[in-house]
Amino acid sequence: MPLRDLARRGGFAGRDLRVTAEDGFVAIIAASDYMTAPIMVAYEAGGKPIPTLKKGPLLIVFPPDPLRFPRRPYGSQWVWFVRSVGPR
């Protein structure tokens, strides 16, 4: 599911997002990025739920675009084991 769709459903589209993982890791994703790029909330791979051993059940995935999303700042922002997504 595109992150922008999740933000719309949650009523906070257009605001920077705070994504928190089960281990307490926090990533901030800029609204200008998720509203215009296909940043995804992945919950399936190959039509099957993503298992915990594969970093599931939810993870944030950035598109392979090294010019727009270089290793920094988002290279370390692929959040695994997502616990919550909300406005910053």
Q: Does this model's pTM top 0.85?
A: no
Strands 26-29 and 17-21: antiparallel
Band of residue 76 on the pLDDT scale cut at 50, 70, 90? low
Residue 47 pLDDT > 90: yes
Let me know: does 39 contact 33? Beta carbons within 8 Å: yes
Identify residue 45 by its one-letter amino acid code.
A
Identify residue 4 by its one-letter amino acid code.
R
What φ, ψ does residue 79 adopt, rounded to 5°?
A: -85, 125
